Structure 1
């Protein structure tokens, strides 16, 4: 099954019809016949989505939706309200109480399944981000800072100027956010990360039919606008293209003629979800950065380095030079100048190493005063050349650790191993590089030594 859906309706026939439609698409269906039953099963069964009839004998679907959203255990479950009434008041109440959509009976099967797919995808993304956030928190990583959130930026991409002006006027006073008109030809301009709109409102048809759908696809493919929310405007009753828009990644759809109140509510909902995802993503990114970064030097740590080196070695056809680097007599630096000075030396050494390498090269602190460097597409000559450059960059200039303090001179020994076809893991090549480093130390330190090839 691809998802568990709770169908709530007091009429058994309606539940059966809905179950048949959903079962054909391989969804598991749970049934409830009233509001109280829906609340119990939502809490105990934890469905992925709820289809909720508005008119029920014990309480309205809107009230059930409100209770679901007020309970932390069920607040994140998407809700689609279904009713035989198409009046604006019922729809607005449902949307304002947290419903994700509002469908009118008889429910169009194409529109229903498209909306279900869209909401389940969004639900899965939220769950994954939340799980990663919890993992980061359990590992003790700091949460990302909560930035001040001003009004959201809303970009209107209409088929023509007059229509765009009508849309903008309709949103004025609705507190939906800062609204701007964006011509179609500028919509794919390279927005700066701070300038990218939070929500795009796009007509399905712009200069030509389906031009808006193509624009949606382009926006979703670009890093700067990939996480922007998108609301697609379609001709009345165009369920087929609504399904296409949702499958392309639109967060919501709305049909013409536009209702200003509904548009504003849906924009606010999209903005709220977008910001929640941004916060989760920021926290996860910060946690992952902490998980793979050495806090003292800013270089990658041992965990990341070994995993990344394994991935580099997995790409056959390219020679990799792996270097183990170790500062000579570093204990004497700590004993003579103190551990704070020793930390400053390590931070400067890290900067010097990084300055000599390309962005594609791997450099990591793997413990104490020991570093690892991996260079793809490097033969013996290039490996020796880079290693000598690194050794000189560290040892040729004394390090100033504090104003007025005595400069500290350090040297570095290096061991190199070139990847071999017979080696398929970081452990194997590191063993040879580590032996070469030991040879450099044994021969007097401040030297570069190339490892011999291992036996096949």
Structure 2
């Protein structure tokens, strides 16, 4: 087996028994673990249980090789945590396809990323929840009565919602409801073309990229199963599905459900992390990490189209006094409410971001000077003309803002002004507004 895998360009580490293998797994962090069903110091099932019991090995794929076609032993191994079980008579094409599918699933699920970057500093310190939320399982076969029979024979917990389809009705259902979480697709091993074409089309569809696929091969050979795996199936059920094989099928579906849950959790965590990196948590506005590149893009688009671009820097006047007199909780609430008032005054295509503290960046595309003046003045009036009534405050809290404004782009512009130049001009104008008494709009010299 080592020679076979090495000839296929896999880096293989060999262990003489289960205990040595467990030690190697801890130190080498392999992408896949393969083991015989019987080891010199423990059974393959015990070996699987030991790997799955560890925090780092719980979701590491494990492939067991059995010496004989024993379905009861296969089900027992799956129950003990094996991700895949093959018999020693397996053909090389199916063996390599299974190895590729298991390693591919490891990376697609993101589990390798989580293992390498799971420290608290990355925000991944929470333990993985064992709860699997409601999952949609679609069963599809050329003969819909067969799909209905499979659905009736499966006895899955309530968090699984099953539906049966023909290939055509599956595509209609995806158009209406989106892709299922798990697809169980029947492939006739004697006439596999239709089933394989459906599998290929489904796996190539971007809308179903996160769906886990179990291919059910009826009366087929290893070559059909190998092709199904290479087309994108995550797992295969050889020799079809009958009521007698219901437990094996349910174990495989449960494994795919867990992989789906892990992938969704990782994607959600990464998405939330990216959002946290770009969004100010107090106001919900974009922060400067997002605002500066976006402002540069707006400036480039304005220059290309010869459209005017207005850039403003707004600052809450005497904000330190608000914090000192009313407390930081009140100050935070003022920031949130000022944000809402400003957002209500701006056009839909405007950029509103918090630069830090009590300072905000505003950019409005296709805005000539007269319109920019009106927007800036309206912002000042909206904030300054209505004091804030905060819970627990003994009196209304008056708040005003000062705004520095710069203008770029436009057909009459003598030269292209970069985003940073516009921002610097607006910042200097803001300083002038502050020095000249606050609660006003000051224009940069090029904009005056």
| TM-score between the two structures when normalised by the length of structure 1 | 0.78
Aligned equivalents of 2:66, 2:128: Cα separation in 1: 42
Q: Is 1:217 the counterpart of 2:200 in the alignment?
A: no
Distance 1:389 1:378 in 2: 15
* C-alpha displacement of 1:204: 4.7
Match of 2:319 among 324, 327, 330: 330
Q: Select 2:137's aligned residue among 135, 139, 154.
A: 154
Alignment match, 1:395: 384
Deviation at 1:370, TM superposition (A): 0.8
Return closer, same or farther for 1:61/1:147 CA change in 2, 3 Å cut-off: closer
**For residues 321 and 133 of structure 1, what CA distance do their matches in structure 2 show?**
43
1:353 to 328, 337, 342: 342
TM-score (norm 2): 0.79
- Match of residue 111 from structure 1: 94
Cα deviation per residue 1:62-91 (whole Å; 9 max; x = unaligned)?
Answer: 332222222334333211222342221232
Q: Where does 1:80-119 land on structure 2 (aligned, <5 Å)? A: 80-119=63-102
Contact 2:199 2:233 in 1 (8 A): no
1:326, distance to aligned residue in structure 2 (A) = 0.8
Give, in angstroms, the shift of residue 364 of structure 1: 2.0
Shift in alpha-carbon separation, 1:127–1:331, aligned structure 2, 3 A: same
- State whether residues 285 and 354 of structure 2, in contact with CA within 8 Å, keep that contact through their aligned partners in structure 1: yes
Q: 2:287 aligns with which of 301, 307, 324?
A: 301
Check if 1:49 corresponds to 2:35: no
Rounded to whole Å, the distance in 2 between the matches of 1:396 and 1:142 is 47
Structure 1 distance, partners of 2:161, 2:143, is 20
Asked if the contact 1:412/1:446 (under 8 Å) is kept, the reply is yes
Q: 1:411 aligns with which of 396, 400, 403?
A: 400
Equivalent in the alignment of 1:7? none
Kept in 2, the 8 Å contact 1:129–1:284? The answer is: no
Equivalence for 2:19:
36
The 1:287–1:198 alpha-carbon spacing in structure 2 relative to 1, beyond 3 Å, is same
Q: 1:347 offset after TM fit, Å?
A: 1.1
- How far is the alpha carbon of 1:268 from its aligned partner? 0.6
1:82 match: secondary structure:
strand
Residues 322-349 of structure 1: CA deviation (Å, up to 9, x unaligned)? 3211122334444554444333221111
1:364 aligns with 2:353: yes
Cα offset, 1:42, TM superposition: 1.9
Quote the offset at 1:160 in angstroms.
2.9
Instruction: Write out per-residue CA displacement over residues 306-327 of structure 1, whole angstroms, 9 at most, x where no aligned residue.
Output: 4554666677846654321112
Aligned partner of 1:64 in structure 2 is: 47
Partner in structure 1 of residue 153 of structure 2 = 170
Matched with 1:128 is 113
Give the drift of 1:270: 0.9
Partner of 1:265: 251
Whole-angstrom distance in 1 between the partners of 2:28 and 2:127? 32
Pair 1:110–1:368, CA change in 2 (3 A):
same
Gap change, CA 1:309 and 1:212, over 3 Å in 2: same
Q: Which deviates more from structure 2 when the two are superposed, residues 354-363 or residues 34-43? A: 354-363
Structure 2 SS opposite 1:81: strand
User: Which whole-Å CA distance do the structure 1 matches of 2:444 and 2:224 have between them?
Assistant: 63
Contact 2:62 2:84 (8 Å CA) reproduced = yes
- The whole-number CA distance in structure 2 between the counterparts of 1:346 and 1:161 is 59
Q: Name the structure 1 match of 2:412.
A: none
1:281 to 250, 267, 283: 267
Tell me how far 1:267 sits from its aligned partner: 0.4
Map Cα deviations across residues 156-196 of structure 1 (whole Å, 9 max, x no partner): 2232321112101221268883433344244313437xxx7
**The one of 419, 429, 434 aligned to 1:436:** 429
Which residue of structure 2 aligns with residue 254 of structure 1? Answer: 237
- Retained in 2: the 8 A contact 1:328–1:445? yes
Determine the C-alpha separation between the residues in 2 that align with 1:140 and 1:72: 17
Query: CA distance change for structure 1 residues 384 and 226 in 2, over 3 Å: closer, same or farther?
Result: farther
The SS at the match of 1:445 is: coil
CA gap of 1:380–1:29, structure 2 versus 1, over 3 A, is farther
Verify the 8 A CA contact 1:323 1:373 in the aligned structure 2: yes
Match of 2:58 among 69, 75, 82: 75
Instruction: Tell me the distance in 2 between the aligned counterparts of 1:373 and 1:276.
Output: 39
Q: Does the Cα contact within 8 Å between 1:174 and 1:261 map onto a contact in 2?
A: no
SS of the residue 2:249 aligns to: helix
